Amino acid sequence: MKNKFVAYIESLQDRITSTLEKIDGEAVFQEDLWQREEGGGGRTRVIENGAVFEKGGVNISKVFGKLPKSLQENFQVDEANFFACGLSLVLHPKNPFVPTVHANWRYFEMYDADGNIVTQWFGGGQDLTPYYLFEEDAVHFHTTCKEACDKHDGSFYPKYKKQCDNYFWNAHRDEARGVGGLFFDYLKANEDFSMEDRYNFTTEIGDSFLHSYVPIVERRKDMKYNQTHKDWQEVRRGRYVEFNLVHDKGTLFGLKTNGRIESILMSLPPTVQWKYNHVPEAGTKEAALIDVLKSPKDWV
């Protein structure tokens, strides 16, 4: 299973980066291969200063070895060996009308002293963070997510959509990071689904990513914008930073497993502003975004 999923994310990374390069038309991804001292490594691909993508990363990694002490409590185990692999991506477009997107699909195994798998699961999801709200974009993104889910089980979309709203909640700001998408974790085998089913579902979601995001980029990337729009984008990117550094378990996992810092923090936006107590005027498009973030809605 682990080799199959590693091969999948390697191929998906290729598909995603080549598609994004075509859309951008100017910048290309720079690749960095890195090794983790305790076991494993990764292939980081970062794009910067593009015509469409101001900054973005599409990274795969595969880490294994002794489970770090700091994670034993998380997983409620004592000493154990683990294996984890996944693809993580974050794209920060230049044009404030193009939403930022994040996605991650991952697989995890833990072993007993004899090297037998004692537990294994898939996790992942994708979520959209607009700076200006175009309802049709949120609807398109969620519809694509729902269609991919529905091929597997009718309960998946409502459940994982809700988990996404809960996970990407910027608690100290009392608002969502964006308009959500899907979030699922600890997908283990049970009486209804085999690990093979879990693999098929996770890769179905991975395959749906470009369909969910690319059409939105295509219709927004050439829209005219001014400095007010750009300032607002940069202020909202500040909230993105706050979420990732204060609340995001994925970032924390990376820091705690001695991950490669630059690969983990590629998620941070290129230019960011923090203004004191910045509240958009009522009735503006900026205020309309906040309204939606304060109480996540159903888009499909």
CA-to-CA distance for 152 and 192, rounded, in angstroms? 11
Please report, for residues 6, 14, 106, 236, 299, the alpha-carbon distance to residue 43 in angstroms, rounded to integers and kept in the order given: 12, 11, 15, 29, 35
CB nearer a second copy, residue 56 or residue 99: 56
Please report, as residue ranges, which positions from 260 to 299 form the binding site for a second copy (by CB under 8 A).
261-262, 265-266, 268-277
Active site residue 102: yes
Residue 122 DSSP label: E
- Residue 42 binding a second copy, by CB under 8 A: no
- Residue 246 binding a second copy, by CB under 8 A: yes
Number of neighbours of residue 197 by Cβ within 10 angstroms: 16
- Residue 249 binding a second copy, by CB under 8 A: no
What is the closest distance, in whole angstroms, from the C-beta atom of residue 261 to a second copy in the complex? 6
Residue 25 DSSP label: S
What is the closest distance, in whole angstroms, from the C-beta atom of residue 83 to a second copy in the complex? 23
- Residue 242 binding a second copy, by CB under 8 A: yes
CB nearer a second copy, residue 212 or residue 244: 244
Question: Smallest Cα–Cα separation from 233: which of 269, 277, 276?
Answer: 269
- Residue 57 binding a second copy, by CB under 8 A: yes
CA-to-CA distance for 270 and 276, rounded, in angstroms? 20
- Residue 68 binding a second copy, by CB under 8 A: no
CA-to-CA distance for 196 and 198, rounded, in angstroms? 5
Enumerate binding residues for a second copy (CB under 8 A): 30, 32, 46, 48, 55, 57, 172-173, 234, 238, 241-242, 245-246, 255, 261-262, 265-266, 268-277
Catalytic residue annotation: 102
